[in-house]
Amino acid sequence: MRKLDKLVLKSFMGPFVVTFFIVLFIFLMQFFWLYMDDLIGKGLAINLILEMMMYMSATLVPMAMPLGILLASIMTFGNLGESYELVAVKSSGISLFRFMRPLIVFILGIVAGMFFFSNYVIPKANLKAFSLLYDMRNKKPTMSIKPGIFNKGIGSFAIRIGSKSKDGVNIDDVLIYDHTNTQANNNVIAAETGKMYLSNDKRFLVFELSKGWRYEFKKDDSGTYEQQRMYFKHWTKVVDVSSFEFNRTQEDLFRTNEEMMDIRMLGKNTDSLRKVTNSDLKELRRNSGHFISLVKSDNSYKELTERIGQYRDKLADTVSYKKTLISSFPDSVKGDISERLVADVQSLQRYANIFQTNFEINQKKMNDFDMEWHKKFTLSFACLVLFLIGAPMGAIVRKGGLGMPAVISISFFVIYFVLSSTGEKLAKQAKLSPMEGMWLATVALMPIAVIVLIQARNDSSVFRKEAYLLFWNKVKLFFSRLFNRKKTVAK
């Protein structure tokens, strides 16, 4: 039995490693395709690109791992079925479940590893990746002055050079429009030759121009423009280009996002928000007790939101009621009492509005934290569910290689991805609880896994195309005989 277990593991490991890295590479290329417009043309160093690829590869592992396992399991058991090795194993009295046992143990190890990876590695990788992506997207395009065209975006200048040497230092036929004080072309510099180079600290672009003219258009006291022209033999212009450098933002600014937290931090932040909400609720009850009974202590958060809306409406009714009551007081104090009561009730209305706004914000944050908490489990458990679909499916279809397994695995992964995205969206909209939304895809695929396992154990031909071809041939043969019989009777 040990040799059989080694055979199964050896047959699975090769396709698993290959398919996992292929799928990971595809997801990584999809990411760069998505952000290509934001990254191209900014002169980013190759080490920054490699660093981004490393961090993003880590964040994409939870998506690539289930698909890699699904594809590898179908390929492995499809190859074993196509070569009749599964038939030989079953004929020797070994069940399919016993044959799958070493792989199930291996997948359970991956599930445990994926949980720890999602909890400890991915939050740090997300922090590094998205902070770096933010800086790369906000970096200005690379400073490249091309001959024959006006180069804008270099400070407040528009620069045109006729030609430049191969080393990019010596330049000819230079024209510079200075828009520092105005957008109009009132300050122009023209030179025959010169040099262009960066300062030692790369913060300034220096122009050393020779044999040129400066033109300035100024308004005199009468409101008319006059032109001033000055000739120079040598003139130096320094342009600040420090904004073109790549600057890193502090990572602490991104730590409040739920994707950058592990389970402990998510639970801690959820408890803190719940305490803040309860404290605000007690304060609201205390301040509104003189006017109206807002909520009972056992009201849920959903009921609380509805009651706050009713509370604001009743406060408006309270104003009109108090105004009617005031009419029985003497005229000397009526105005003062009315103003105070209206001011108090309007103040409570504003306080209720503020509380509801804060409550909705905190509730959304708690919802996001709960969704991320469940996601760390669902992404891990999806590996087991998709394996339990892929392995028996491969045993049923009995087709190895990459063609049929790829079609089947992509089909199931699309179903999983659509259900997962739908559940997450519904949970964000509070139409489903975080647990229901995040576990929707996994729970929905579990019955399919059970059905496929039962079909594979019974050697069912439900998912085998040969069975449908055979059925179709029988149907054609039946109608062919029926047609021939009618022709014979007619004769």
CATH number at residue 329: 1.10.132
Task: Compute the average pLDDT of residues 307-319.
Answer: 52
pLDDT at 321: 46
Q: Judge if 235 and 316 occupy the same domain.
A: no
**Is residue 384 over pLDDT 70?**
yes
Please indicate, yes or no, if residue 486 is contained in any of the structural domains. Answer: no
Last residue of a domain, one of 244, 272, 288: 244
d(CA 152, CA 242): 16
Helical spans, DSSP H, in 83-121: 85-91, 96-116
Question: Do residue 130 and residue 6 come from a single domain?
Answer: yes
The proportion of the chain whose per-residue pLDDT surpasses 70, expressed as a percent, equals: 74
Backbone torsions φ then ψ of 216, nearest 5 degrees? -130, 135
- Tell whether the model's pLDDT for residue 300 goes beyond 70: no
Above 70 in pLDDT, residue 79? yes
- What's the pLDDT at 181? 67
Domain assignment present for 355: yes
Say yes or no: 94 and 189 in one domain: no
Q: Is it the case that residue 96 has pLDDT exceeding 70?
A: yes
- How much of the chain, in percent, has pLDDT values that exceed 90? 5
114 and 189 co-located in one domain: no
pLDDT at 81: 78
Q: 413-435 pLDDT, tens per residue?
A: 888 888 988 998 898 888 888 89
Residues 266 and 229 in one domain: no
Within 10 Å of residue 483's Cβ, how many Cβ atoms?
A: 10
Q: Tokens for 319?
A: 């104003």
Residue 109: pLDDT over 90: yes
For residue 267, tell me if it sits in a domain.
Answer: yes
Say yes or no: 179 and 239 in one domain.
Answer: yes
- Whether residues 391 and 358 share a domain: the answer is no
- Determine the residue type at 244: F
Note whether 293 and 351 are same-domain residues: yes
222 and 273 fall within a common domain: no
**Residue 17 phi/psi, 5° resolution?**
-65, -45
Domain count, the chain: 3
Q: Which of 490, 372, 340, 380 is nearest to 438 (CA)?
A: 372
Q: Is residue 306 part of a domain?
A: yes
464, part of any domain: yes
Q: Is residue 488 part of a domain?
A: no
Domain closes at, from 309, 343, 370: 370
Residue at 145 is within a domain? no
pTM recorded for the entire structure: 0.66
Cα gap 178→209, rounded to integer Å: 15
Per-residue model confidence (pLDDT) at position 82: 78
Domain that holds residue 113: 2-139+375-475
Higher pLDDT, 466 or 158: 158
Average pLDDT over residues 98-122: 90
Query: Which residues are 232's β-sheet partners?
Result: 212
Task: Identify whether 485 is part of a domain.
Answer: no
Span 319-374, pLDDT tens digits? 454 445 555 555 555 556 566 666 766 777 777 777 778 888 888 888 888 988 99
Does residue 459 share a domain with residue 341? Answer: no
Reduce the DSSP state of residue 208 to 3 states and report it. strand
Whether residues 96 and 193 share a domain: the answer is no
Choosing from 244, 268, 298, the residue where a domain stops is 244
Give pLDDT tens digits for 445-484: 998 888 888 887 776 655 556 666 776 777 777 777 777 7
* Higher-confidence position of 184 and 386: 386
Q: Let me know whether 62 and 89 are in one domain.
A: yes
